[in-house]
Amino acid sequence: GAVVSQHPSRVICKSGTSVKIECRSLDFQATTMFWYRQFPKQSLMLMATSNEGSKATYEQGVEKDKFLINHASLTLSTLTVTSAHPEDSSFYICSARGQGPYNEQFFGPGTRLTVL
Amino acid sequence: AQSVAQPEDQVNVAEGNPLTVKCTYSVSGNPYLFWYVQYPNRGLQFLLKYITGDNLVKGSYGFEAEFNKSQTSFHLKKPSALVSDSALYFCAVRGAIKAAGNKLTFGGGTRVLVKP
């Protein structure tokens, strides 16, 4: 149990385009989803926290208009990187938390974004 | 504010020897402590957690960790390391108080290299 998937696993895009990353909880309902960014050889940096049906809460320094987060259902959250630039290239990891036995963060496998 | 320190960027150990990865933390109230492992280009895999109870926590793949309240430490240990244990290890903490939003704070990570 407690499986979280991400799609795509890797994406390469041109500068200026937008990219959408999906995060799904496969076998539990995720009341909260978290989006992290990880630079090479560095730790995870929390970007935002989203609760189902409400607006995401962004961490300080994270541009909400740049990184659009939608958590429209209890099993799906999406992160859209708008007008991507090379400096947005990174490894993006989501996690999902539910209720009861799922009341901890379960992590997805990550998405490698490369912006050319 | 909560924080986690992993003082060693890298730990080298010979296969079959004991492995220790250090972690100290700072948090208000009682801590919830976690260890995760990350293989290249992969998401985080949960190893173990301490919530309450016995100070020695046993987890996946033969790993264990000891919670030491007086030293605010939660070091990860394995009695006999395997080459396949070579990976990046993260310690994380969150406070038991819900007001913190259940946010996890990660340490900087420790790379473990097990040599045959």
Chunked mean pLDDT (size 10), chain A, 116 residues? 91 96 94 91 89 88 94 92 95 92 88 95
Query: For residue B101, what is the nearest residue in chain A, using CA coordinates?
Result: A49
Contact flag B103-A46 (C-beta cutoff 8 Å)? yes
Chain A nearest C-alpha distance from B44 (Å): 6
Contact flag A44-B108 (C-beta cutoff 8 Å)? no
pLDDT (tens digit, 9 = 90+) per residue, B91-106? 999 876 665 556 889 9
B-chain CB neighbours of A5 within 8 Å are none
What pLDDT does B98 receive?
60
Confidence of residue B28 (pLDDT cuts 50, 70, 90): confident
Instruction: For B11-65, give the secondary structure using H, E and C.
Output: EEEECCCCEEECCEEECCCCEEEEEEEECCCCCEEEEEEECCCCCEEECHHHCEE
Question: Is A32 part of the contact surface with chain B (CB cutoff 8 Å)?
Answer: yes
Contact flag B36-A107 (C-beta cutoff 8 Å)? yes
